[in-house]
Structure 1
């Protein structure tokens, strides 16, 4: 017998127990998504709603809180997938949208396509009334932080094109991608993920979030959402691997751990996290970073459980 459930993440990275300020927002997102399922709504509606809450909070690296590129602009990616139908919609490198996850869903529902990027995605957003002035995504706090990160890296050398290792040293909360997976009362699964990428990325860079099998994947067996260094997640096809393990009979928790183990063995630690739920309502959460912010709510719970999970071995 399956039980309906939603799991939400706020990214994997340099989290510590002191970052509990994020938990209230994660709880709100989880509760809103779960309430949709409780009222008979779809898993797809639930995960999109949860991600919208996180995008709107400005506290995570998605939507209003998205980080800046090397030249000081915001470019966001998002993806959503409905496991019951196999439908999927994604956007990449969009600059003029408050909620990229809503635009990704519109790509899925209103077009013949799976992925729209840059100007083309922004044209669709404008046609649908989803566009905003890109300057609204810029804040003095973000610009100040961009300047600080650049200065710290300059002190270690020069701002070369290949600089990710240095960014990780001076910016431990590098990954703040948000995502959600859910199972509804009808047994349908869905996933949604949204991100601003990472600080000082090059303009035009698209990460794993809108790539099927990497940052998102859902079918009739399970649904997964990833966070971390997009290049690593794409090279390991993290979400697809985890879901494939579940299809082969592995439990969600063991499948999530196996997927992260592959990423770690190939590319080291500190680069990935994943959440997954199967058609029975069992969940899996694994990461190879210092910490990961997660929340979940099952059928029968009065309120979500939200926590910063810490790995003492990293």
Structure 2
């Protein structure tokens, strides 16, 4: 089999605001995506394979590295997939799945598009997917660091009044206010040599958040979108991203003929500069990323 993939492109990201030292993980994910493309020739397979690598890297807030909720015990994860062959699937609030992106792919084969909570976890069991690993020391360390930073006077999220969390708090534990938040997603966008596009994403959610909170990652048009002209993935604070349907909005500008880098920057400019936000995308001729903060990425273009 040829080792060349003429026209292939993949971009991966490890989350807006994550250290650039994590770039090696994103580059490894991109290489795995390329390997999968050589194996199956399918853009979606490649995107999912790349995201699984990131879900398995405990440095990232997804899969085995997902952040603990503020109760210190619960994990709630979201994931999504979409391609230009008609596949569309997502899961929200899953708690016991090692690789939520694989579950999102299986949802795409059902009569539904989005499964959430207990039903999604039961579906994972029915499909034989591996359960989550025991909570890791690295996850507990991240959680303990958040607890050490607790402060009542610092906004939990840019543009969000802390009093709203106090009013609607739904954990059994008391409300505590960390000055920094985890809102990282991992994702991949792929252009196949055959011209098909795909996107996949996964996240361990946001900290702090109300129990049951769902961000942009499983919401089509917000955290992800794929169409005949390209594929887009977003990362950042979902509450900001969803208000702008960010991925679909950027895709719309591409439809209008705007160069990719310009479209991505325009999308980033829609979001408050204090809210870490990033975008990755591929089109028929380009592959790019853009963010208002540091964001580890990996890119392969052939």
TM-score normalised over the length of structure 1: 0.83
Deviations 1:9-45, CA, capped at 9 Å, x for gaps: 0111153xxx42x222222110110123345611101
TM-superposed CA distance for 1:176, in Å, is 2.6
| Contact kept? 1:74, 1:137, Cα under 8 Å | no
Deviation at 1:283, TM superposition (A): 1.7
1:125 corresponds to 2:124: yes
In the other structure, the counterpart of 1:142 is 139
Q: In 2, distance between residues paired with 1:257 and 1:121?
A: 35
Cα separation, 2, equivalents of 1:204 and 1:270: 21
CA contact (8 A) 2:165 2:210 kept: no
User: How many angstroms does 1:61 deviate by?
Assistant: 0.4
Say whether the 8 Å CA contact 2:51–2:200 is kept in structure 1. yes
Using the TM superposition, give the Cα deviation of residue 197 of structure 1 relative to its aligned residue in structure 2, in angstroms: 1.1
Q: How do 1:49-64 and structure 2 match up within 5 A? A: 49-64=49-64
- The answer to whether the 8 Å contact 1:74/1:138 transfers is no
1:192 aligned partner: 200
How far did residue 279 of structure 1 move?
2.1
Q: Do the aligned partners of 1:256 and 1:274 also contact (CA within 8 Å) in 2?
A: yes
**1:88 equivalent in structure 2:** 88
Counterpart residue number, 1:279: 284
Deviation per CA, 1:173-212, whole angstroms, max 9, x where unpaired?
x333100001111100000010001223222111100000
Q: How far apart, in 2, do the equivalents of 1:125 and 1:198 lie?
A: 22
Deviates more, 1:149-158 or 1:192-201: 149-158
Contact 2:10/2:287 (CA < 8 Å) preserved in 1? no
Q: What residue in structure 2 maps to residue 306 of structure 1?
A: none
1:33-182 residue pairs with structure 2 within 5 A? 33-39=33-39, 41-72=41-72, 73-85=74-86, 87-109=87-109, 111-132=110-131, 134=132, 136-154=133-151, 156=153, 162=165, 167=178, 169-171=179-181, 174-182=182-190
Q: Distance in 2 between matches of 1:137 and 1:217?
A: 32
User: What is the aligned partner in structure 1 of residue 210 from structure 2?
Assistant: 202
User: Are residues 44 and 143 of structure 1, via their aligned partners in 2, closer, same or farther at CA, if it must alter by over 3 Å?
Assistant: same
Aligned counterpart in structure 2 of residue 8 of structure 1, from 12, 17, 20? 12
- Aligned residues: CA RMSD: 2.3
Q: Deviations over 1:36-68 (max 9, x none)?
A: 334561110100000001101111000000001
Contact 2:280/2:288, CA 8 A, preserved across alignment = yes
Q: For 1:263-295, what per-residue CA distance to the aligned partner results, in whole angstroms no more than 9, with x for missing partners?
A: 2xxx34333111011123x0231112x201111
Gaps of 5+ in 2: 1-5, 157-161, 167-174
Tell me by how many angstroms 1:258 deviates: 1.0
**TM-score scaled to structure 2, two decimals?**
0.86
